[in-house]
Amino acid sequence: MIELSAAQAIAAIDAGELDGSELFAFYRERAVEHGGELERGGLNCFTWTSPQVPDTPAGPLAGVPLAVKDLFCTQGVPSQSGSRILQDYKPPYTATAVTRLREAGAGLLAKTNQDEFAMGSSTENSAFGPTLNPWDRTRVPGGSSGGSAAAVAAGLAPWALGTDTGGSIRQPAAMCGIVGLKPTYGSVSRFGMIAFASSLDQAGPLTRDVTDAALMLRHLVGRDPCDATSLQFPHEIELPSAERLDGVRLGVPTELSRSGGEAAMEPGVRACFEHALELAQELGASVQEVQLPHAPHALSAYYVLAPAEASSNLARFDGVRYGLRADDPRDLLDMYTRTRHDGFGAEVKRRIMLGTYALSSGYYDAYYGRAQRVRTKIAQDFAAAFESVDLILTPTAPGVAFALGEKTSDPWSMYLSDYFTVPMSLAGIPAISIPCGLSEESDDPSPPAPHGGGLPVGVQIAGPAFSENRLLDAAYALERAIGFDGAPARV
Ligand code: GLN
């Protein structure tokens, strides 16, 4: 069963060769055995696993188990967004994205570990401890959807739901050797997603292959009356079928490929990326250089805008409405202060301070206003580039999975992990990461991965808003040509 993708498992169930409940029980057992706490030898990728095997629900997804990032509200099931302030919080309703997948027949297998409120690139900012990378347990799985990525890579869930604000689906997918898709902003409802930065947050699939990503996306998209920023996707999401890339014009942005700018791309990443470009050309695509002149400023703009929105969104965690409340407060202010002091981790506090500062009177225009203008420039850069190319290719992350603890004391070096993914988030456009090989030479001096090979590298493909079908087709053709084998990561 482990070798089946979600789409293959559904086909086997439909053909009567596999029983949906059996599949769920198989994954549940694996999830409990290998996905739990570090002390029990697990990857710590799950914060909750289903206590029972549900009746196989009707619908096109045929009961295939689904792992869901902790920050999606799931009725009666802990939804803690990786934070102590929401410890054991069980919401009274379920996020639309999860409801849609369940109505299509997916079964809720587990909730996955994440950086607190999705702030981070390594899953080390979780109040529930870090998740380990199944390729090498001394390394991070990336983040913030690291639990979802590790679970899929390790074969503890056939597929998983994550969210991406500045790279949190794509970057962990790259570091775990799986596929991650951030859809066009607004195409998937944010209702019931515990908010980080509302103008950037977007739900999407983390899967073994491109077909599964398309299949999940098909059931996720659509306007939701509960989310005013959600949109009707203009067409049906097709399952990809392209074998060639003839006539496809691929753009490689100078600013996001050659050097990786400040992010300093590792040689092993560069080699895999160059190889992917060669394969794309062999498949018939043309490759040309394009310019995104404002992309080098994306990270600076993002780290004003995202914390500004976060500081506002996180004001609701006051000890009154849900989650943690300080014991024996002297008065109301003392209760607020101590609840937030005890409930939030260091990174969240850092972002609240950055965000409130950027929004404060006298500084608002200098920081927030200017960052918004940079955001507009970046969107315009992409629009101009898409006049001469169909899709844009970059490495997903400048480096392979780094060692646990390596970047925790240096926030900026952690932030640089998202150098290649943040521009697309600011522009609201879709982007997918697919594995493009193993890096044989990491710059990292620590010992090589225990399975003897290198560590996974991802290539990112981005397109204009609502170009998901084209994006998935190109990713599919490239995926077949690359022939990446994710099996060594499975436990
Ligand atoms: N790593 C980035 C951050 O910390 C992006 C996180 C995300 O996409 N949720 O903000």
Supply the pLDDT for residue 450: 58
pLDDT in tens, 261-289: 777 899 999 999 999 999 999 999 999 99
pLDDT of residue 448: 55
Out of 144, 230, 417, 433, pick the active-site residue: 144
Please report the atom of ligand 1 found closest to the CA of residue 118.
9
**Could you tell me the two tokens for 201?**
């947050």
pLDDT at site 139: 97
Residues 4 and 157: beta-carbon distance below 8 Å: no
Tens-digit pLDDT profile for residues 302-334: 999 999 999 999 999 999 988 899 999 999 999
The answer for residues whose C-beta is within 8 angstroms of residue 260's C-beta and 6 or more apart is 395, 398, 419, 420
Q: What is the pTM of this model?
A: 0.97
Query: Which pLDDT value is given to residue 33?
Result: 97
The pair of three-digit structure tokens given for residue 454, joined into one six-digit string = 């290198």
Ligand 1 mean position, distance from CA 25 (Å): 33
Q: Are strands 202-207 and 249-253 parallel, antiparallel or unpaired?
A: unpaired
Q: For the residues of 289-300, what is the DSSP string, one character each?
A: EE--TTGGGHHH
* pLDDT recorded at residue 84: 97
360 burial via Cβ count (<10 Å: 0-12, 13-18, 19+)? exposed
Instruction: Decide if 118 contacts 193 (C-beta within 8 A).
Output: no
For the CA atoms of 383, 386, 388, 393, the dihedral, rounded to the nearest 10 degrees, stands at 130
Decide: 210 and 350 in contact? Cβ < 8 Å.
no
Confidence of residue 260 (pLDDT cuts 50, 70, 90): low
Query: Does the pLDDT of residue 26 top 70, yes or no?
Result: yes
Give the pLDDT score at 80: 98
Phi first, then psi, for residue 47 (nearest 5°) are: -105, -10
Label residue 121 by pLDDT band (50, 70, 90). very high
Structure tokens at 12: 């086997």
Give the bridge partners for 221, in sequence order. Answer: 188
Tell me the average pLDDT across 367-388: 98
Higher pLDDT, 56 or 26: 26
Whether 154 shows a pLDDT value over 80: the answer reads yes
Evaluate whether 111 touches 73 at the Cβ level (below 8 Å): no
Mean pLDDT of the chain: 95
Confirm if 385 and 291 have CB atoms less than 8 A apart.
yes
Residue 441 has pLDDT above 60, yes or no: no
Report which ligand 1 atom has the smallest distance to the Cα of 168.
Answer: 8
Mean pLDDT of 82-96: 96
pLDDT surpassing 60 at residue 145: yes
Whether residue 144 lies in the annotated active site: yes
User: What is the C-alpha to C-alpha distance for residues 274 and 252, in angstroms, rounded to an integer?
Assistant: 11
Is residue 69 part of the annotated active site? The answer reads yes
Q: What is the DSSP string of 190-236?
A: -TTBPPS-TTT-EEEEEESSHHHHHHHHHHHBS-BTTBTT----SSP
Considering only residues 261 and 139, tell me which one the structure prediction assigns the higher pLDDT. Answer: 139
- Joined together, the tokens standing for residue 475 give 């990713």
C-alpha to C-alpha distance for 104 and 56, rounded to whole angstroms: 11
Mutational test site, ligand 1, from 412, 418, 425, 426, max ligand atoms within 8 Å of CB: 418
Confidence of residue 447 (pLDDT cuts 50, 70, 90): low
Mean local confidence (pLDDT), 102-118:
97
User: Ligand 1 centre and the CA of 491: distance in Å?
Assistant: 27
Q: How far apart are alpha carbons 98 and 191 in whole angstroms?
A: 10
Task: State yes or no: pLDDT of 444 exceeds 70.
Answer: no
pLDDT in tens, 177-196: 999 999 999 999 999 999 99
Mean pLDDT across the stretch 387-398? 98
Give 328 Cα–ligand 1 centroid separation in angstroms.
Answer: 35
Pocket of ligand 1 from Cβ distances under 6 Å = 118-121, 144, 164-168, 196, 306, 418
Name the residue of 144, 170, 201, 311 whose CB sits within 8 Å of the most ligand 1 atoms, as the mutation to test its pocket.
Answer: 144
By percentage, how much of the chain surpasses pLDDT 90? 92
Given a contact cutoff of 8 angstroms between Cβ atoms, the answer to whether 259 and 458 are in contact is no
pLDDT higher than 60, residue 89: yes
pLDDT (tens digit per residue) in 58-81 = 899 999 999 999 999 999 999 999
- From the candidates 121, 126, 148, 168, give the one annotated as an active-site residue: 168
Under a CB-based contact definition with an 8 Å cutoff, are residues 139 and 402 in contact? yes
> Does the pLDDT of residue 474 top 80, yes or no?
yes
Residue 5 Cα to ligand 1 midpoint, Å, equals: 28
pLDDT at 445 over 60: no
- Ligand 1 center–CA 13 separation, angstroms: 37
Question: Mean pLDDT throughout 74-89?
Answer: 97
Per DSSP, the three-state class of 393 is strand
Residues 6+ apart with CB under 8 A from 345: 83, 84, 116, 125, 127
